[in-house]
Amino acid sequence: MSAEYIYPSKVQFEKVAVAVAGGEESDVNGLWCSDILQTYFAYKPREPTYTMKPEVHFRGGRIDILVTRQVIEENLVNWPWVLIYEGKKTGGATWDDVRGQVVNYFRNSDCNKLYGVGCIGRKCKFWEWDEGIHPDSEWQLQRVKGQVKPKSGQFDPSDISSQDLDVEAYIKFVKGEMV
């Protein structure tokens, strides 16, 4: 995980991430909001402005973190959805539970293209929702020969540790796709 933006070293990030990811759901979600997503979706001049919205009430549910992007067109400002995050503490839910929540938000979002990340402790999975390519079905992001590709099916989770470079690759892929 390339977290130099917030931590002086990957080793320090590792210590914090491992300790926090074993805590309560709010600890896991806080790690993702303030340390991981903020690293990649922080405000930078001359780049799209992103906003992270925690605890968004949406059609009978509550999205843990919603990442939106500012789009200005002819003096109108819109905030299209970029990424939905759903997190759980270790032992708090199954991958089917997390995936089910993310897919439910996808289906009810009115977005043609959207990404989601589900997290249990320090493990995570990323999904793509793209009505134009694979209608009414989420595909999980996978690294294939160094390239990120959405694939049909369910695969093993990634780890936020620096030894697992998937998370950084997935976030950069999402950001690149949603500009």
Task: With respect to residue 124, please indicate whether it lies within any of the assigned structural domains.
Answer: yes
Total number of domains in the chain: 1
Is the confidence at residue 2, as pLDDT, over 60?
no
Quickly state the pLDDT bin for 64 (edges 50, 70, 90): very high
Tell me, yes or no, whether 166 lies in a domain: yes
Pairing of strands 81-88, 50-58: unpaired
Which pLDDT belongs to residue 26? 86
Q: Mean pLDDT, to the nearest integer, of 66-77? A: 87
Range(s) of the domain holding residue 49: 10-177
For residue 40, list its beta bridge partners: none
Which pTM does this prediction carry?
Answer: 0.87
Residues 127-162: pLDDT tens digits? 999 999 999 899 999 998 889 999 999 999 998 876
- In whole angstroms, what separates CA 143 from the centre of its chain? 16
Model pLDDT, residue 44: 72
Whether 3 maps to a domain, the answer reads: no
Note the pLDDT of residue 63: 96
Residues 79-137 pLDDT 10s: 899 999 999 988 879 999 999 999 999 999 989 999 999 999 889 999 999 999 999 89
Residue 1 has pLDDT above 70, yes or no: no
Task: Answer yes or no: is 60 within a domain.
Answer: yes
- Report yes or no on 169 lying in a domain: yes
| 30 in a structural domain | yes
Q: Which pLDDT score is estimated for 71?
A: 85
144 inside domain? yes
What's the length of the chain? 179
AA identity, residue 23: G
**3-57 confidence digits (pLDDT tens):** 444 555 666 667 777 777 777 888 888 888 877 888 888 777 777 788 889 999 9
CATH of the domain at 61: 3.90.1570
